[in-house]
């Protein structure tokens, strides 16, 4: 399980140092995050980037996407966005991970001057956020936390 949040700097080549606690877990799950193709980077929701070990990526796709009807136009679009934009990545010998330029510029919307990201453990995957976007999302989540818990509680009770 991935937990915690860590602020990092992205260097001029688009690399950042993977937090040690998250890297240990990535290595455990992937059999070594330094092996090519063992990690998958894809667009996430709310303009973050998702990082999965390949095995957990497959589980996520089966659980959330493959079980849905291909007859749904929205499901087809979601499949394309998640898998069509995904890239296999690896952690280098220095413990850095390269975020491809398209992810930095298009999805994270990072400009030349803003090079700080927040790496967040979210149970079965890792999210990478532009620092300002993470701060705004964190404030919003904090303000809505009780309301969200209440909604989920009611939805769960109705399902029983």
Q: How many CB atoms lie within 10 A of CB 10?
A: 22
Q: pTM higher than 0.85, yes or no?
A: yes
Q: Which positions ≥6 away from 61 have C-beta within 8 Å?
A: 82, 83
Strand intervals (E) in the chain? 5-9, 15-17, 39-43, 49-53, 87-89, 96-98, 116-122, 125-130
For the chain, how big is the Rg over CA atoms in Å?
17
pLDDT at residue 35, rounded to an integer = 60
**What are the residue boundaries of the structural domains of the chain, listed by start?**
5-131
- Tokens 């992810």, residue? 103
Could you say which architecture CATH assigns to the domain 5-131? 3-Layer(aba) Sandwich (3.40)
Instruction: Print pLDDT tens along the chain (160 aa).
Output: 999 999 999 999 999 999 999 999 988 887 665 565 689 999 999 999 999 999 899 999 888 888 777 778 988 898 888 999 899 999 999 999 999 999 999 999 987 666 999 999 999 999 999 999 999 999 999 999 999 889 888 887 665 4
């Amino acid at each position: 399980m991935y937990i915690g949040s860590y602020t990092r700097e992205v260097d001029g080549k688009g690399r950042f140092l993977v937090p040690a606690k998250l890297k240990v877990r990535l290595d455990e799950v992937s059999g070594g995050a330094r092996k090519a193709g063992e990690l998958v980077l894809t667009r996430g929701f709310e303009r973050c980037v998702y990082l999965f070990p390949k095995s957990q990526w497959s589980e996520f796709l089966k659980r959330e996407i493959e079980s849905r009807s291909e007859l749904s136009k929205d499901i087809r679009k979601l499949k394309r966005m998640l898998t069509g934009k995904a890239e296999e990545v690896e952690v280098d010998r220095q413990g850095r991970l390269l975020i491809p330029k398209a992810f930095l510029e298009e999805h994270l919307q990072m400009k030349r001057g803003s090079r700080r990201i927040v790496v967040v453990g979210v149970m079965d995957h890792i999210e990478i956020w532009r620092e300002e976007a993470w701060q705004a999302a964190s404030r919003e989540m904090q303000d809505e936390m009780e309301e969200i818990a209440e909604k989920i509680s009611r939805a769960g009770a109705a399902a029983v």
